[in-house]
Amino acid sequence: MVTISENLPDHKRIFCNTCRYETNHVLQAEHHTDYPNENPDGSLAFVERLGYRFWLCAGCDTATLEEYYIFDTQNDEDTTGPMIAYYPERQQLYIEGKTFKKLPKRLTGIYREILRAYNNTLSVLCAMGIRALLEGICADKGINGGNLKSKIDNMINIPLPHNIVENLHTLRFIGNNAVHELEAPSADELKLAINICEDLLNYVYELDYRAYQLATSRALADRRLKQTK
């Protein structure tokens, strides 16, 4: 007879989107339905179970809904499961957007679209967005070239250090593969590429602004100090 194990755990470790790491979760409620399927002779062939489990994080009390599916047959080799999905989706690789106060509005829009694509696992679109961001930076800074390779080479005139310019070609290859081959990079590769883009935006658009803020703050502090003497 086909059976599905009832010994599912009443607590387990799940990545908590609030705590931002794996925590112990305690089972609060469960519901499942079994769907038996018979052979032509009336014997039981296999059972499918669709179930839902309601968990609470033991650290912060944030709730998570687990949906699981089990396919069970008399042949142990055909038994699979459980296949699990969590709602809301787990955010281990989720990227929080940074704020760039001096970044042009058009480039800010591209940057935000890159993050939305990444956080929704749209890997090809994310890679295309990274390429578009590089093109947009070049256009904004008046960097010309017959193709993106030439434009990146000419970024040394921003100026960018030579080693950074060389490393930016990796981002170009990621975008090329997405555009021409519809080849999706891995999530880890895209996350690293986005980090590089953020460093580039910070270097090109924010450092002067922050240096100015620091200089202004220091000048104001000096004036106040002189007034108190």
Q: Find the range with the poorest average confidence among 28-42, 47-61, 209-223.
A: 209-223
**Residue 76 DSSP one-character state:** G
Crossing angle between the packed helical segments 187-201 and 123-140, to the nearest 10 degrees: 20
Distance separating alpha carbons of residues 32 and 183, to the nearest angstrom: 39
pLDDT in tens, 81-96: 578 999 998 887 788 8
pLDDT in tens, 152-186: 999 988 888 888 888 888 888 886 766 667 777 88
pTM of the model: 0.61
Q: Which residues contact 202 (CB under 8 A, 6 or more apart)?
A: 98, 100
Which comes out higher in pLDDT, residue 115 or 225? 115
Asked if the model's pLDDT at residue 15 lies above 80, the reply is yes
Q: Which residues contact 13 (CB under 8 A, 6 or more apart)?
A: 22, 23, 24, 25
159 cis-preceded (ω within 30 degrees of 0): yes
Asked if the model's pLDDT at residue 197 lies above 60, the reply is yes
Distance separating alpha carbons of residues 176 and 168, to the nearest angstrom: 13
Distance separating alpha carbons of residues 100 and 206, to the nearest angstrom: 7
Q: Domain ranges for the chain, please list them.
A: 11-87, 105-220
How confident is residue 75, by pLDDT bands cut at 50, 70 and 90? low
Burial (Cβ within 10 Å: 0-12, 13-18, ≥19) of residue 66: buried
Average pLDDT, the chain: 84
Distance separating alpha carbons of residues 75 and 172, to the nearest angstrom: 49
pLDDT in tens, 123-141: 889 999 999 999 999 999 9
3-state secondary structure of 100: coil
**Residue 196 DSSP one-character state:** H
Asked if the model's pLDDT at residue 4 lies above 70, the reply is no
Long-range Cβ contacts of 78-84 (<8 Å, 24+ apart): 78/46, 81/49, 82/8, 82/51
| Distance spanning both ends of the chain, measured CA to CA | 92
Predicted local confidence at residue 95, as pLDDT: 87
Distance separating alpha carbons of residues 50 and 187, to the nearest angstrom: 29
Separation in Å, CA 135 to CA 1, 91, 142, 189, 191: 63, 29, 11, 20, 19
Tokens standing for residue 124 = 């090809």
Predicted local confidence at residue 154, as pLDDT: 93
Asked if the model's pLDDT at residue 73 lies above 80, the reply is no
Asked if the model's pLDDT at residue 113 lies above 80, the reply is yes
CATH number at 105-220: 1.20.120
Give the whole-number percent of the chain exceeding pLDDT 90: 42
> Cβ(198)–Cβ(134) under 8 Å?
no
Mean pLDDT, rounded, for 194-220: 76
